[in-house]
Structure 1
Amino acid sequence: MNGAVARGPVDRFIDAIEVAAASFLAVVTLLTFVSVLLRYFFAWAIPDSYDFTRLLLGILIFWGIAVAGYRGDHISVDLLWSASPPWAKRALDVFAALVTLVAMVALTWMFAVKVVGTRADNVGTFDLRQPVWVYYFIAWIGLASSVVLLIARTVRLVFWPEKLARPSEIHSVE
C-alpha cells in the first residue's frame, strides 16, 4: 500500500463531516458574494438572502464544532498540561474530552428541543416563508455528529492515543 494507512469507518465519517462543513462554508461565501454583486450592480437582492446566509452560517458553525472538537483544534490553555508528566497529560486530555462531551450532549439535547419547538411554531423566512426548522435540523445533525466524534475522540484517547496524534499536532514542552 506504499505506506498508506487503511482508514476505518470512523475516519471516513470524520472526513465526511469535514467535507460537509467545508461545503457549507463554500455555499455561505458564494451566496454572500453573489448577493453583494447583485445589490451593487443591479440594485436587486436575492429573496431571503439574509435569512439563508444567517441560517447557513449557524449550520456551518455547528458542523465546524464537530470537526474542531474531534481534532482538538478548539481554544485551549496548555499551561498546566505542558508542565505535567506524560501520565497526567493523558489524564487531563481524557478529563477535558469527557467534560466537552457532557457539555455537547446537553447542547445537542437542548437544540433538539429548539428544533421541535420551531417546527411546531411554524416559523418561516421573511420573504419566501420557507420553514426555518429544516435549517435548524441540519444544524442539529452537525451537533449530533459532534457528540459521535467526541465519543470517538474519547475512546481513542483512552485506548489508542497514537491514532489522534499527528506530527504537526503533537504538543511539545519547548
Structure 2
Amino acid sequence: MTQRSTRVMDRMINTIEWLAAMFVGIVALNIFIAVVLRKFFDTSIPDAYDFGRMLLGILIFWGIAATSYRGGHITVDLVWTAAGPRMRRVIDVFATLVLLFVVAVQTAMLFDKVRGTYADNVQTFDMNIPVWPFYAVAWFGDVCAVVLIAIRTWRLIFQPELLEDEKPEQKAD
C-alpha cells in the first residue's frame, strides 16, 4: 500500500472521529439549552424531546464508528491475554471480521429504516419536521463504522504496525 493511500485512510479516520465528537457537543448543547429554558424561562424548545432522541441515536452510531477503528471500546480479553503473539493476531483478525459482518448487517437494516421512515413521511410532533434526515445521518455514521472496521481489518492483516492499538496490560508494563 502506498504512503498516499495510508495518508488518505488516516485523514478519513480523523474526520470521522471529529464528526463523532461534534455530535457529542451537539447533544450536550441541546440538553443544556433545554434544561436552562425549562428551569429559568419556563419554556422549551419545540420538538426538544424528538431532537434529543434522534440526536442520541446519531451519537450512538457515530460513536460506534469512532470506537471501531481504535479498538477503544470495552473488551474482555481473558483468552487474548493468555495467548501468544501469533494467536493474539489471529483472535484480533477473527473478532474484527465478526464485528465487520455484524455492523454491515446492522447498516443494511438501518438503511431499510431510513427508507421506510422516508416513505411513511414520519414527522416530529410539534413542528412536523421530517424524521428521515436524522435517521440518514445516523445511518451514515454506521456506514463510516463499516469503512473504519474494514480499514482496521486490512491493517490488522497487512499493516499491523500502523495500528495504534495499545492494550491496558501493555500500559502497565
Quickly name the TM-score band, shorter chain normalised: over 0.9
Deviations 1:75-131 (A, max 9, x none): 211110011011100000000000000000100000000100011110001101100
Q: Distance in 1 between matches of 2:164 and 2:65?
A: 18
Partners in 2 of 1:102 and 1:32 — Cα distance?
A: 34
RMSD, matched Cα: 1.8
Counterpart Cα distance in 2 of 1:76 and 1:26: 26
The count of corresponding residues between Structure 1 and Structure 2 is: 169
CA contact (8 A) 2:68 2:148 kept: yes
Q: Given the superposition, is the C-alpha separation of residues 76 and 170 from structure 1 closer, same or farther in structure 2, using an over 3 Å criterion?
A: closer
* Counterparts of residues 96-107 of structure 1 (less than 5 Å): 96-107=95-106
Q: Secondary structure at the match of 2:121?
A: coil
Alignment correspondent of 1:20? 19
Deviation at 1:165, TM superposition (A): 2.8
Flag as ranges the 4+ runs of structure 1 deviating above 4 A.
168-171
Contact 2:103/2:146, CA 8 A, preserved across alignment: yes
Q: Which sections of structure 2, spanning at least 5 residues, go unmatched? A: none
Q: Deviations over 1:6-33 (max 9, x none)?
A: 8601111111111111111111111111
TM-score (norm 1): 0.92
- 1:83 matched to 2:82? The reply is yes
Which residue does the alignment assign to 2:43?
A: 44
Residue segments in structure 1 that go unaligned for 5+ positions in a row: none
TM-score relative to the length of structure 2: 0.92
> Identity rate of aligned residues, in percent?
50
- Aligned partner letter, 1:99: V
Task: List aligned pairs for 1:122-137, cutoff 5 A.
Answer: 122-137=121-136
Residue in 1 that maps onto 2:52? 53
In the TM superposition, residue 169 of structure 1 has moved relative to its aligned partner by 4.3
